[in-house]
Amino acid sequence: VEGLRVLDVPGGSPAFEGGIQPSRRDQETGGLVLGDIIIGLNSKKVADATDLYTLLDELQPGDSVKVTVLRFPPDGGAEKRDLTVRLGENQKAPRPKMSIEMVP
């Protein structure tokens, strides 16, 4: 699967409000629950960070975007979901250090 694994989603952020799930620890077992994998933005493929930033650069703060993710529920399998995220006002801020990993 090509895409970007979501490692962190700050509370209150547009991604949080849109329902994007980060990697986290299961509260009962302590096991790692992997976050969503971003595979598309507005029906365009996202294979790596360059794809994501290129597509985001075409948008404006306040725009709503369709983010396509793969989600892996605890019972196994994979679910493809389309989430709507409204871009925040800091869209033109310098790019932060990446908190994502490439998925082979």
Q: What is the pLDDT of residues 51-62, one digit of tens each?
A: 999 999 999 999
User: Which CATH superfamily includes the segment(s) 4-97?
Assistant: PDZ domain (2.30.42.10)
- Residues forming beta bridges with residue 32, ordered by sequence position: 25
Say how far apart CA 36 and CA 71 lie, in whole Å.
5
Distances from the Cα of 16 to the Cα of 25, 87, 99, angstroms: 17, 11, 14
> Which tokens belong to 2?
């090509």
Return the pLDDT at 24: 92
Return the pLDDT at 99: 56
Point out the residues of the chain with pLDDT beneath 50. 91-93, 97-98
Q: Coil, helix or strand for 46? A: coil
Return the pLDDT at 32: 87
Say how far apart CA 72 and CA 34 lie, in whole Å.
7
Return the pLDDT at 91: 42
